[in-house]
Chains A and B, each alone.
Chain A
Amino acid sequence: MPLNQSLKGKEYGEIAFTVDRDRVVQFADAIGDDNPIYRDAAAAKEAGFSEQVAPPTFLTVMQIMTSGQVVLDPELGLDYSRVVHGEQEFELRRPVVVGDVLTATPRIADIYAKKSNEFLVTEAEIKDASGEVVVVMRSTIISRGTGGSGGS
């Protein structure tokens, strides 16, 4: 069944997230990046940052937190078992650091079909406590075989 095109532009509820020191270390360990500024506030300060720094893709954590609202939206008609992650983009306006209090409001930026597949583009601006946008994330997931022109 095709996705509900009328949901283009729909906004979902705001998610709040505070960047926690241990979570940043856990993430840096998991991706195997040994840069000391991801692990040690003193090393980060020596390199000119205000605090221990989160790796560039760390806010995947917020994307996972926000994506459930979208992909499970009953109005959307997405069958999650048909989904693969097609594209991912980060605009990094400033480094995320430990102690940042962030909010994200995900929205459906686009829904389109290509051959037998459909593409769902979600976008979220991540803002800090002062309202400044620190990161913009765009994620495209592919719903396999639900497009109109595909046949079987």
Chain B
Amino acid sequence: MLFEQVSVGDEIPAYTKVVKREDVKAYADASGDQNPLHQDDSFARSVGFPGIIAHGMFTMAHLTSALTRWLGDPAALKSIGVQFRAVVFMDETIEAGGRITEIDPNTKRAKLDVWVRVDRAGVSEYPIKNSRAEVELA
């Protein structure tokens, strides 16, 4: 993403995906996080959820992909810090987004507010919110 192309207040394109059980299993194997909360429905029910939930890091990875797709260059993402504020269930659609809050013309770096939203019975819930990223523009 070019410095000349962005302004404070711009939003990155919303990026969605449907969270599938097999993706969460694949993430458990790829990351090494084999917590049964993400694989075993009866375990998840025993701790108060209706079924398994996605890893927070799975949702954060989707947000990171939204940013790097927008940037065009994964190396342009300099930092990302998120708060996990709601869980994500299987077959839900997660939508990653972000808005530029600050641009430094000297360093060509921009700061963004970033989030991941799900629609739950007509109400927006935010598995990730109050979160920030810093990127370097070309």
Contacts and interface: CB of A to CB of B under 8 A. Distances in A.
Interface SS of chain B: helix, strand, loop or mixed?
Answer: helix
B84 A55 contact: no
Given A29-B26, A30-B23, A35-B74, A65 B80 contact: no
B62 interface: yes
A81 B58 CA distance: 20
A56 interface: yes
Contacts of A65: 32
B84 A88 contact: yes
A42 interface: no
B79 A91 contact: yes
Given A85-B57, A89-B82, A30 B26 contact: yes
A89 B58 contact: no
B89 to A, nearest CB: 15
A37 interface: yes
Contacts of A26: 26, 29-30
B15 to A, nearest CB: 10
A87 B84 contact: yes
Contacts of B79: 89-92
Nearest to B61: A31
Contact of A88 (B23, B27, B33, B60): B60
Contacts of B77: 56, 92
B81 A88 contact: yes
Interface in B68-126: 68-69, 73-75, 77-84
B51 interface: no
A84 B65 contact: no
B19 to A, nearest CB: 10
Contacts of B31: 27, 30, 60-61, 64
Contacts of A31: 27, 30, 58, 61-62, 65
Interface in A87-118: 87-92, 94-95
A47 interface: yes
Nearest to A142: B84
Contacts of B56: 85, 88
Contacts of B33: 60, 64
Interface of A: 23, 26-27, 29-33, 35, 37, 47, 49, 53, 55-57, 60-61, 64-65, 81, 84-92, 94-95, 138
Given A35-B68, A55-B61, A60-B57, 5 more contacts: A56-B80, A57-B57, A85-B55, A91-B78, A92-B75
